[in-house]
Structure 1
């Protein structure tokens, strides 16, 4: 097994040992006590107020959502959900699958690879089961604008490899790349939004002289580009200066090519540095609104009091194979579980300016979002 995959597997095993849950009827009840996934640090502060929403390009920073202004005195009693939200069985405090992909290839060569057919089939499943893709930037900022009854899903691709994206001679996405497959599935399933987030390392899809044109194409078509460091090192083993050089160097390159800063970051191997603050921001260089791990469980809702925007869990895309407990923790297993437990899944009320959910979930609503809460 390649060394990168060994490191990733070791981190995941550690997470499982620390207490990742098993699928089953009691799994949702146990989630509050589960360990964070590989590389996660414990929360050091309560949730912040709504962060800036992404710009139209999916990167950069703009106004907040649901509202740019915070209520000085949250209402003692939440307003009632609309009849439409009730009819949709909205639960905007439910879990959101953040799917993690690595190389996309016609014939996979390593354990983290997914075939072009596997990607197409999984995206088609998501479309058929009512999932709507949103970008990582939209997710962390609370800009979840999907139709009533639909479920947000975040598609993330690490390492900016050629199977993710490329441009042909006419300036269109190359066939059999992730971007091309996403666009194809959207055409085949009207209403399925063709967006995803790509976490970049220095090689940038091996675009060569097309780097700037390629990144601008992605942003102009609603995709998000995020920071994944220059060389994909294990940040947990590095000094503050080294960590910030890796992140700042990649950020500088992205800004030079696109003219905009990134909004989100993903840890290589899911491994956080000794101090999370080193990765969260550095004056004049980067200032992330969300950071993603490499764990194997769906994320809490961004409106939940348990949500930590700087330690967001992801789910590896994979079938129910024996390796690394994928029978329990990878995408197929989790999508099956959420399908059988729809009450635990984030279901939209159709209004991005309200947060609707069953009354029993009120204690889970983060205090900064209380003014937007609607119950039934």
Structure 2
């Protein structure tokens, strides 16, 4: 791992030179495409837009098309939001933090490490700040139950290292692991859901196959998600189609053999996308993902936003406001501070997973496929 961290530092410096945007500013996805493909173990520059705010519909001809035939009928009006959703100031077109963690240790050793105390403190902040964890698969699918007035957050852990999870002799999560900390915070903060998504490499938390089979099943039975992160954590952007597919299918096959199920989501190592994205998205019966996660520097836009791209979902590195890698502006502490100060930009749930509620001014942003579920106020 040390070499990966050195690579990460170099790429982050390049990202800053390319021009990162400040929190709250918007940037087109295409502007950062080259930097996105470079990737980094810790981050990829913000390549997706933050949630759009109040963009007016584009101007164009009205009444009739050039042929003189009547234009298409306008969409039906969106129904009014439920009183409880209005009272909660629901905004389900707001931004969602997808937090990215690597090693969890008592004492951090490398730049991407977080201590157990740092993890505990950040999760406690989320719990007290009204955040509710959901899995990556739930986020991608756009169906998740978050109480009215609360905010979804996706906790993702890359590389399946021992500090993430392990079982003791009694079959309980080992102390000081990420899972143990998540469950502790949930006990101390009723309503905070103990869940996260773990993106697996071949190490599988340092377990052999017998231990891993039991461990992975424990995670699934207790509401955690398992995701694919390749066998050896390579930079997929420089690899052939055959090599890309071998890395992903090899990991998927092992997960399926150990658990009897396939994964739903995938996280790119280093955030690096292959020359052709389709190579990673699906392969016959070997794997077929519903969402792909980058390594990044921005919260994700809402899964109901017309600009949401489930094949390139941004994440935010978990870190304090430190100078390194410009974390003063782009890591988790900075972004959580920003969303606290700008609550109108944050995803706030209406409490009903069957509806999508938002202020009427944002109506032009709802994706067509979700319009039937939309409610405004």
- Where on the TM-score scale, by shorter chain, does this alignment land: which range? 0.7 to 0.9
Which position in structure 1 is the counterpart of 2:125? 125
Change over 3 Å in CA distance of 1:90–1:84 after alignment to 2: same
Change over 3 Å in CA distance of 1:74–1:127 after alignment to 2: farther
What is the DSSP-based 3-state SS (H/G/I as helix, E as strand, rest coil) of the residue aligned with 2:337? helix
Shift of 1:135: 0.3
Once residues 135 and 17 of structure 1 are traced to their aligned partners in structure 2, the CA distance between those partners, rounded to angstroms, is 33
Once residues 360 and 15 of structure 1 are traced to their aligned partners in structure 2, the CA distance between those partners, rounded to angstroms, is 34
1:233 correspondence with 2:215? no
Which position in structure 2 is the counterpart of 1:184? 184
Once residues 148 and 275 of structure 1 are traced to their aligned partners in structure 2, the CA distance between those partners, rounded to angstroms, is 40
Which position in structure 1 is the counterpart of 2:65? none
Change over 3 Å in CA distance of 1:31–1:345 after alignment to 2: farther
Structure 1: gaps (5+ residues): 44-72
Once residues 262 and 231 of structure 1 are traced to their aligned partners in structure 2, the CA distance between those partners, rounded to angstroms, is 17
1:35 correspondence with 2:32? yes
Shift of 1:6: 2.2
Shift of 1:35: 3.1
Shift of 1:3: 1.6
Which position in structure 2 is the counterpart of 1:47? none
Shift of 1:161: 0.2
Which position in structure 1 is the counterpart of 2:360? 359
After superposition, residues 157-176 of structure 1 pair within 5 angstroms as 157-176=157-176
Change over 3 Å in CA distance of 1:83–1:118 after alignment to 2: same
Which position in structure 2 is the counterpart of 1:105? 105
Which position in structure 1 is the counterpart of 2:94? 94
Once residues 10 and 207 of structure 2 are traced to their aligned partners in structure 1, the CA distance between those partners, rounded to angstroms, is 32
- Kept in 2: contact 1:12–1:295 (CA 8 A): no
1:250 correspondence with 2:251? yes
Once residues 287 and 16 of structure 1 are traced to their aligned partners in structure 2, the CA distance between those partners, rounded to angstroms, is 34
Shift of 1:358: 0.5
What is the DSSP-based 3-state SS (H/G/I as helix, E as strand, rest coil) of the residue aligned with 1:199? strand
Which position in structure 2 is the counterpart of 1:50? none
What is the DSSP-based 3-state SS (H/G/I as helix, E as strand, rest coil) of the residue aligned with 1:338? helix
Once residues 285 and 362 of structure 1 are traced to their aligned partners in structure 2, the CA distance between those partners, rounded to angstroms, is 39
Once residues 343 and 370 of structure 1 are traced to their aligned partners in structure 2, the CA distance between those partners, rounded to angstroms, is 21
After superposition, residues 254-293 of structure 1 pair within 5 angstroms as 254-293=255-294
Once residues 135 and 74 of structure 2 are traced to their aligned partners in structure 1, the CA distance between those partners, rounded to angstroms, is 29
What is the DSSP-based 3-state SS (H/G/I as helix, E as strand, rest coil) of the residue aligned with 1:327? helix
Once residues 215 and 18 of structure 1 are traced to their aligned partners in structure 2, the CA distance between those partners, rounded to angstroms, is 40
- Kept in 2: contact 1:199–1:226 (CA 8 A): yes
After superposition, residues 74-93 of structure 1 pair within 5 angstroms as 75-93=75-93
**Could you tell me the TM-score, scaled by structure 1's length?**
0.88
Greater Cα shift, 76-85 or 181-190? 76-85
Change over 3 Å in CA distance of 1:96–1:230 after alignment to 2: same
1:301 correspondence with 2:302? yes
- Kept in 2: contact 1:160–1:201 (CA 8 A): yes
CA offsets 1:191-226 (integer angstroms, 9 cap, x no match) = 000000000000100122301000000000000000
- Kept in 2: contact 1:75–1:371 (CA 8 A): no
Q: When the two structures are aligned, how many residues end up with a matched partner?
A: 343
- Kept in 2: contact 1:11–1:38 (CA 8 A): no
Which position in structure 2 is the counterpart of 1:370? 371
Change over 3 Å in CA distance of 1:286–1:146 after alignment to 2: same
**Could you tell me the TM-score, scaled by structure 2's length?**
0.88
Change over 3 Å in CA distance of 1:207–1:12 after alignment to 2: same
What is the DSSP-based 3-state SS (H/G/I as helix, E as strand, rest coil) of the residue aligned with 1:119? helix
